[in-house]
Amino acid sequence: MINFTEPTITKTEKDYVSDALDNNLLSGDKKYTKLCNEWFHNYGYKNFLLTTSGSSALELAAILSKIKPGDEFIVPSFTFSSTANAFMLRGAKPIFVEINPDTMDMDVDKIEDKITENTKVIVPVDYAGISCDMDKINQIAKKYNLMVIEDAAQAVGSKYKGHPCGLESDIACFSFHETKNFTMGEGGAVYIKDDTLMDEAEIIREKGTNRKQFLHGMVDKYSWYKIGSSILPSDLLAAILYGQLERFDEILNRRLALWNKYYTFFANLEESGKLRRPHVPEYAAHNGHIFFILLNDEETRNNLMHFLKEHDIVATFHYLPLHAAPLGQEYGYKPGDLPVTEDAAARLLRLPLHHNMADEDVEKVCNLVKEFLEK
């Protein structure tokens, strides 16, 4: 059986978890949380906070954006529910924008048409760890005075014009879910560009209190200042993540090697018009998070998925566009509103890609895809 995804956990992660258990590092902001923060500072993220998930990172960002009922945010429909939920929990309305099927990222040429006097935030999503066209998005945001909150859940280890993904945005949100390249089981993080928002973010993350300042001896009692939530992860989970960060290059390079193997193999099938490979724009250096192909139609995609399953290979489709989902329809959208997104989502297939795969596993998947498409 070739699984679609598997985490890579070694002795390093296990040793750190044992250390955390032996030394009462159970709640948040202890040794391993600090080590993870330090690692990310050195990597380039000045203001970085671990969170309990990518979803809670987005919710923290939405609170910081001050978005409110009546406001709108622009978001691709081809994304995870959490990208939209975070802002909808603050009462805002999602305005869905088409994707560019080459990258499956937001189509930057379609953003401006969606802006109204109620727009507050643009929420680009770096699908498959391939960065969005951030300069163009930021130009639009600047022109209309909008915030950019980047959903970089899949983009840890990815770069935009040589910088870690997210640095171009006001806030960027990351995920360390079990399925991501670097994991802590359930977890995430925010990067916050504006130093002055950091104190507020720390209060929101600590249930709306200034407990952190109290623990650091900066105030003699702590109190309730803002609406907030419990967004600080256990140090036990940060211990897993720190083990993964120590193996950062090894994990990243292995994924990229497997991704490149798929990419190279499928060149001929792309040339003969059987499928499309992901397009990585010049400005992006991706992290090999997902390898996807676009088949010519939905039926071929579904039949290929079943064919691979018969050979014990798990390949999967991805997001069902949000605008056409039951909740999207409650917000006034309907199937047919975003034809490019609907068409690409119906043709997309993700192939197995994880650290434990051998080169031969990728070759097996490639050969079966070829056999099926050339039948």
Ligand X SMILES: Cc1ncc(COP(=O)(O)O)c(C=O)c1O
Q: Which residues bind ligand X (CB under 6 A)?
A: 53-55, 79-80, 82-83, 125, 151, 153-154, 175, 177, 188
**Exposed, middle or buried by CB within 10 Å (0-12, 13-18, 19+), for 332?**
exposed
State the helix-helix crossing angle for 359-374 and 248-265, rounded to 10 degrees. Answer: 20
Residue number closest to ligand X, CB atom: 54
Of residues 5 and 8, the one with the C-beta less far from ligand X: 5
**Min CB(53)–ligand X separation in Å:** 3
Of residues 186 and 361, the one with the C-beta less far from ligand X: 186
Of residues 59 and 202, the one with the C-beta less far from ligand X: 59
Of residues 157 and 368, the one with the C-beta less far from ligand X: 157
Q: Is 198 helix (H, G, I), strand (E, B) or coil?
A: helix
**Min CB(168)–ligand X separation in Å:** 17
Q: Catalogue the E-assigned strands of the chain.
A: 48-51, 72-76, 93-97, 99-100, 105-106, 119-122, 147-151, 159-160, 163-164, 171-175, 188-192, 275-276, 284-285, 291-295, 348-351
**Min CB(55)–ligand X separation in Å:** 3
Neighbouring residues of 334: CB distance < 8 A, sequence distance ≥ 6: 323, 324
**Min CB(342)–ligand X separation in Å:** 18
Of residues 132 and 369, the one with the C-beta less far from ligand X: 132
**Min CB(310)–ligand X separation in Å:** 27
Alpha-carbon gap, residue 277 to 302, rounded angstroms? 17
Of residues 72 and 151, the one with the C-beta less far from ligand X: 151
**Min CB(180)–ligand X separation in Å:** 7
